[in-house]
Amino acid sequence: MSDIMMVFACLNQTLHPTALRQLTVVAQALLAMTGRVTMLGLSRWAGKGGSYRTIQRFFNTTVSWSCLQWLLIRTHLWEPAEVMVAAGDDVIVTKSGKCTHGLDRFFCSIYSKVVPGLGFLSLSLISVKRRVSYPVVLEQLEQAHMSVSQTERQSQPQGKGKPGRRKGSKNRNRRDVELSPYLQFVQHHLRHLLE
């Protein structure tokens, strides 16, 4: 318990003391338990102060996880002269069922096909010297918001027209690019990481 408390001591800058105590209980239970991780399983493996209701309250609180992860990296892993690189990747977790929030069909490169599951955008800091990745931002993708809407698809011309430039079209600045909804989502979270 004291080892986890020492690691989590830097988190008291952003977490309320009650939430910090609950996080400590949940972390200890996660490290001790075997099998599937559920709230009931966590409450069974948690010691004193880890009732089912306490764990439920912790998961109902709003926590800025990216801020907590950055505090842990900065306090315990960051070296002032070290070179860190930001990188991102989409992570797909296969899942069956119909009631999970964000459940949709995503392309998974492991299976080389579209699979039902959950999609996440993971942004990490990579230590060049240690060759280790430290995840900072992990956000769930929602396929419905990422794809081009039906009305936008219908407004686009269907077939090939006459070759060349349309009449009346103006020159456009190539630097003024309109990003797709997915790229806007990535750009927003990348700016959040850089802050």
Averages of pLDDT over runs of 10 residues in the chain (195 residues) are: 77 88 90 88 88 92 88 86 89 82 85 90 90 90 61 55 82 81 85 84
* pLDDT score for 147: 60
pLDDT score at 60: 92
| 14 domain-assigned | yes
Same domain, 37 and 116: no
Shared domain for 115 and 189, answered yes or no, is yes
Residue 41 structural domain: 1-63
- Give the per-residue pLDDT at 155: 54
125, 73 Cβ separation under 8 angstroms = yes
Query: Which of 63, 90, 106 represents a domain boundary (last residue)?
Result: 63
Give the model's pLDDT for residue 146. 60
Residue 35: what pLDDT? 86
Instruction: Outline where DSSP puts E strands in 75-171.
Output: 84-94, 104-108, 113-127, 132-141
Whether 193 maps to a domain, the answer reads yes
Residues 50, 52, 54, 55: is their CA dihedral positive or negative? Answer: positive
Q: Of 33, 63, 93, which marks where a domain is finished?
A: 63
Output the pTM of the full model. Answer: 0.71
88 touches 82 (CB < 8 A): no
* Same domain, yes or no: 51 and 68: no
Spatial separation of the C-alpha atoms in residues 180 and 186, rounded to whole Å: 10
Residues 23 and 95 both lie in one domain: no
